[in-house]
Amino acid sequence: MTITFRRETFRDDYNFSNSAVGIRRFPFPFDRDHYMYAVNIEPHVKGHPGTIYESLIDVDEHYVAEMQDRALVLAEDPLRSQSLPHMELAGWDLLELLMEQLAAGYPAHFELRRSGKRWRWVNRPLGIDDTFVFGAASTLPYGPMEYITRQAQGDFCILDQRDGNLWMDAGMVTTQADWSLDFDLGMNFMEWHAPVPRAHEMGVFDRALKFMLNLGQGQPMRRFNWTMTVNPRLDTSPETYPKWGPDRRSVTADNVGDKVHLRVELQSFWRLPRSNAIVFPIRCYLIKLEELVTVPKWARRMHRVLRDLPPDLVDYKGLTRWRPIAVDYLAAFDDGAATSPGIWPD
């Protein structure tokens, strides 16, 4: 499969958009007309061609632009990529996983050749052709985690497993929904989830952690999370909040369809073979409301979910200021008809 990569930006002039094909393959996250936290975990298995599940590590038309945006973020703030000293082996595990997945899923774009520990990695979209020794960090321009995650869409957290908990001891985080790797580094599962409302009391995190601790190798799992973002900005970090915070006041009835984006995170969990760590890729997909409403089922459902979202979730997700404008906009696309179960377009 050959992908045509779009030239686009996630900052300044914000000329990001999805192609017609991109809209059809968008991972709409709601399988019903309302939303509440749940332990929504399922096996991460391949799905139909033309969906984001065609490959287990998805590459799409935004790949090159996203990697350029990541490089800009890292140039301004190197602390977005951090790995505590004991996590280097897990970094190699991740490098292997991503190279294998990318080369298998997109042979026209990526190629991995191995002879013993000597590996050659070709990444055509980014113009990379490197030969290195697997396990020898000095043969790469960055540490193994940073090297490969500068070439893979989505954020990555690597969790060390010990004392019956998971510890966020490494990560590459530049496309986050308002949380800081630098602040959360070294925290355990309950601590980094501390700011989330309701879910602790609901027992969601106790059950989710148990599940994660028992994750088996070769049996990746996945779940969706979502929020909404004004402007197609990947880097909505606490660090840069003064830059993007004012955008929340810029939404009007005229520009809401173009400005407000549904932001969906496909999160997957993979046990890593050598380190026994878990890697948690958080792949962020953006879609403008005006793109989303071209699928009638999604328009109806998005309206109902956003209209009925509990106030504490509205606040936590940062939607408070402009939600009424978005609900009004979506209402025009909701004729009250029933929606079919599941996430796929009718």
Partner 1 sequence: MPETSIKSRPVYGTLAPQPGTRHILLADGDGAAAIVDLARAAPPEFFERAHIITAPAAGAMAVRAPLRALAPAVLDETDRLAAALSRLAEVLAGAGMGTRLYVAGTEGTIGQAMQVALDAGVELGAIATEHRGSRARRVQCAHCKTFIDEVTTQPVACSGCGLMLFVRDHYSRRLAAFQGVCVDAEEPGSAPTPEEVFT
Give me the residues that bind partner 1 (CB under 8 A), please. 79, 180, 182-187, 190-195, 200, 238-242, 245-246, 248-249, 315, 321
Residue 321 a catalytic site member: no
Q: At what angle do helices 296-308 and 323-331 cross, to 10 degrees?
A: 140
- The CA distance from 213 to 224, in Å, is 19
Binding pattern for the stretch 184-203 against ligand HEM, x by CB under 6 A and - elsewhere: x-------xx-xx--x----
C-beta of residue 155 within 8 angstroms of C-beta of residue 236: no
**Minimum CB separation from ligand HEM for residue 316, in Å?**
6
The answer to whether the beta carbons of residues 112 and 119 sit under 8 Å apart is yes
Strands, sheet with 278-288, edge to edge from the N-terminal-most edge strand: 42-43, 221-230, 260-271, 278-288, 155-162, 165-172, 81-83
* Longest CA–CA separation in the chain, Å: 61
Question: Between 85 and 216, whose beta carbon lies closer to partner 1?
Answer: 85
248 binds, among ligand HEM, partner 1, none (CB under 5 to 8 A by kind): partner 1
Does residue 55 contact residue 101 with C-beta atoms inside 8 Å?
Answer: yes
Shortest distance, position 298 Cβ to ligand HEM, whole Å: 19
Question: Which of positions 212-231 make contact with ligand HEM (CB under 6 A)?
Answer: 212, 223, 225, 227
Helix (H) or strand (E) segment spanning residue 297: helix 296-308
Q: Which does 239 bind (CB under 5 to 8 A by kind): partner 1, ligand HEM, none?
A: partner 1
CA distance 229 to 287: 10
Residue closer to ligand HEM, measured from CB, 109 or 317: 317
Binding of residue 53 to ligand HEM (CB under 6 A) = no
Catalytic entry in 223, 248, 307, 321: 223
Cite the active site residues. Answer: 223
Using CB under 6 A, list all residues that contact ligand HEM: 37, 39, 157, 159, 166, 168, 179, 184, 192-193, 195-196, 199, 204, 208, 212, 223, 225, 227, 280, 316-317
